[in-house]
Structure 1
């Protein structure tokens, strides 16, 4: 079967690249006129640690999303309108990650930490749902999948994508009270997917 999704994958790769590049725009260098000595520069850099944290975890998450996007399209050989729009939803949400990332970097160290972490974890709930939608749209018609795809393999991949949803929902639910724990849950999930990405068709 000839693969029909090359243009979708190429376009998606470009969007992922732009989304991951946008993250660095929120890393700001202190103005030289505001820095009187080395100690002051060190202090300013230390104060900016939420920005470094937000950049690192968002870069890692988008990279893992890209890996999973690549893996899901190794299973999808043909496309229809539903697949294309579901993929478009993923790309829309991926490009939106930079905004809650900026909020996280600027307000995590304030009394608004719970709100900004809820917004941050909330975007990943939506991204997980969009990946589930894409796989559902493709897998409900086996003619869209790679030749020889069995029902057991389809079910296994479906389950892999679904189990991330309750984890993200749990992180979102506790964000308002335990923001650090919510971030830790998301990071742990991404680490697990990164370590297991070579073993199973990865979920996100």
Structure 2
């Protein structure tokens, strides 16, 4: 069966790469005028820890998004307009990550941190819904998937993405009373996805044995 999604995957890879690159623009070099000795420069760098935290969280979140997107498209062989627009929604949201990252870097440690973290976690609620939408469209129309994939494999992949909805919603609600805990919850979910992304590969192997 000829794979029709090569251009979608190539374009998506480029967008994910740009989204990650945009994050580094928020890392600022301390002004030379006020950091004319080693200790002052060290203090200025340490004061920027919220920027480094936000950059690290967002970098690995987009990277995990790319890994899961890549593995998902190993199971998707054909495309239609609905699938392409759903994929476009994911790419749009991925490019938006740099904005809440900048908010998080600017306002973490201030009284406005709850709003910054709420915007940040709220975006990932939307991203998770978009991934579920993409897989739902692909799996509902079995002609879009590789022919040998089994129903068991489809359900395993669906469950892997559905876990994220309640976790990200919980993180969003938690951000209003414990912003740090909300970020820990998100980081825990991304770590889980990093280790369980192999399920998509295992599902492919299961499909071949079925």
1:90-169 alignment, distance < 5 Å: 90-169=90-169
Q: Which deviates more from structure 2 when the two are superposed, residues 187-196 or residues 50-59? A: 187-196
Structure 1 runs (4+) deviating above 3 angstroms are 199-202
Q: Structure 1 CA distance, aligned partners of 2:42 and 2:160?
A: 44
| 1:39-61 deviation per Cα after TM superposition (whole angstroms, max 9, x unaligned) | 11111111000000000010000
Contact 1:20–1:59 under 8 Å retained in 2 = yes
Q: What number of residue pairs does the alignment pair up?
A: 202
Deviations for 1:42-99, whole angstroms, at most 9, x for unmatched residues?
1111100000000001000000000000011001000000100000000000000000
Query: 1:18 and 2:18 equivalent?
Result: yes
SS of the residue corresponding to residue 198 of structure 2 reads coil
Deviation at 1:197, TM superposition (A): 2.1
CA distance in 2, matches of 1:60, 1:135: 22
Is the 2:101–2:120 contact (alpha carbons within 8 Å) kept by the matching residues of 1? yes
What is the match of residue 74 of structure 2? 74
Q: Is the 8 A contact 1:77 1:144 kept in 2?
A: yes
Deviation digits for residues 6-50 of structure 1 (CA, Å, limit 9, x no counterpart): 000000000000000000000000121121321111111110000
Segment of structure 1 superposing worse, 187-196 or 69-78: 187-196
Measured against aligned partners, the alpha-carbon deviations of 1:134-178 in whole angstroms (never above 9, x if no partner) come to 001111111100011111211221111111100000000110110
Counterpart of 1:46? 46
- Residue 200 of structure 1 and its aligned partner are, at CA, apart by 4.1
- TM-score, normalised with respect to structure 2: 0.94
5+ residue gaps, structure 2, are 203-210
CA distance in 1, matches of 2:47, 2:88: 37
Three-state SS of the structure 2 residue aligned to 1:74 is coil
Q: Contact 1:128–1:165 (CA<8 Å) still a contact in 2?
A: yes
Cα RMSD for the two superposed structures: 1.2
Worse-matched range after superposition: 140-149 or 2-11:
140-149
Which SS does the other structure have where 1:2 is aligned?
coil
- Write the distance in 2 (CA, Å) between the matches of 1:130 and 1:187: 19
User: TM-score, length-normalised on structure 1?
Assistant: 0.96
